[in-house]
Amino acid sequence: LQNNPIPLHDLSRRARAMESALREACEAVIGSGRYVMGPWLERFEKEFAAYCGGRHSVGVASGTDALELALKAADCGPGTEVVTVANAGGYATTAILHAGAKPIYADIDAATLLMTPQALEKAITPATQAVIVTHLYGLMADMQALGEVARTHGIRVIEDCAQAHGASRQGRKAGSWGDMGCFSFYPTKNLGALGDAGCVVTDNEEFFRRLQSLRQYGWRDAKYHSPVDIGNNSRMDELQAAVLTALLPHLDRWNIRRRDIVRHYREALEPLGLRFQQVGHEQAYVAHLCVIRTAERDRLQQRLQEESIATDIHYPVADYRQPAVVKILGASAPLPVTEECLPQILTTPCFPEMSDEEVARIIGVIKDFVHK
Ligand X SMILES: Cc1ncc(COP(=O)(O)O)c(C=O)c1O
Query: For binding to ligand X (CB under 6 A), which residues are involved?
Result: 62-64, 88-89, 91, 134, 160, 162-163, 184, 186, 196, 198
Residue 27 burial class via C-beta count within 10 angstroms: exposed 0-12, middle 13-18, buried 19 and up:
exposed
| Number of neighbouring beta carbons within 10 Å of residue 169 | 19
| Contact between residue 113 and residue 265 where contact means Cβ atoms under 8 Å apart | no
For residue 322, give every residue at least 6 positions away whose Cβ sits within 8 Å of its Cβ, in sequence order, or none.
90, 93
Q: Is the Cβ of residue 141 or residue 261 nearer to ligand X in the bound state?
A: 141
Helices (H), the chain: 11-17, 19-32, 39-52, 63-73, 91-99, 117-123, 143-153, 205-214, 238-247, 251-269, 297-306, 323-329, 336-341, 356-371
Give me the least distance between CB of 273 and ligand X, in Å please. Answer: 28
Q: Is the Cβ of residue 104 or residue 164 nearer to ligand X in the bound state?
A: 164
Q: Is the Cβ of residue 320 or residue 369 nearer to ligand X in the bound state?
A: 320
Give me the least distance between CB of 134 and ligand X, in Å please. Answer: 5
Give me the least distance between CB of 88 and ligand X, in Å please. Answer: 5
Give me the least distance between CB of 61 and ligand X, in Å please. Answer: 8
Give me the least distance between CB of 86 and ligand X, in Å please. Answer: 12
For residue 231, give every residue at least 6 positions away whose Cβ sits within 8 Å of its Cβ, in sequence order, or none.
213, 214, 215, 216, 217, 218, 219
Q: Is the Cβ of residue 134 or residue 168 nearer to ligand X in the bound state?
A: 134
Give me the least distance between CB of 73 and ligand X, in Å please. Answer: 17
Q: Is the Cβ of residue 180 or residue 366 nearer to ligand X in the bound state?
A: 180
Q: What does the DSSP assignment read for 229-274? A: ----B---BHHHHHHHHHHGGGHHHHHHHHHHHHHHHHHHHGGGT-
Q: Is the Cβ of residue 106 or residue 162 nearer to ligand X in the bound state?
A: 162
Q: Tell me the C-alpha distance between 192 and 343, whole Å.
A: 29
DSSP three-state, residue 62: coil
Mapped to the 3 state alphabet, what secondary structure does 38-60 carry? CHHHHHHHHHHHHHHCCCEEEEE
Q: Is the Cβ of residue 89 or residue 349 nearer to ligand X in the bound state?
A: 89
Q: Tell me the C-alpha distance between 61 and 182, whole Å.
A: 12
Residue nearest to ligand X as judged by C-beta position: 63
Give me the least distance between CB of 96 and ligand X, in Å please. Answer: 12
Give me the least distance between CB of 236 and ligand X, in Å please. Answer: 11
Q: How are beta strands 180-184 and 198-202 bridged, if at all?
A: antiparallel
Q: Tell me the C-alpha distance between 92 and 109, whole Å.
A: 18
Give me the least distance between CB of 146 and ligand X, in Å please. Answer: 16
Beta bridge partners of 115: 108
Q: Is the Cβ of residue 39 or residue 195 nearer to ligand X in the bound state?
A: 195
Query: At residue 272, what are phi and psi to the nearest 5 degrees?
Result: -90, 5
Q: Is the Cβ of residue 189 or residue 293 nearer to ligand X in the bound state?
A: 189
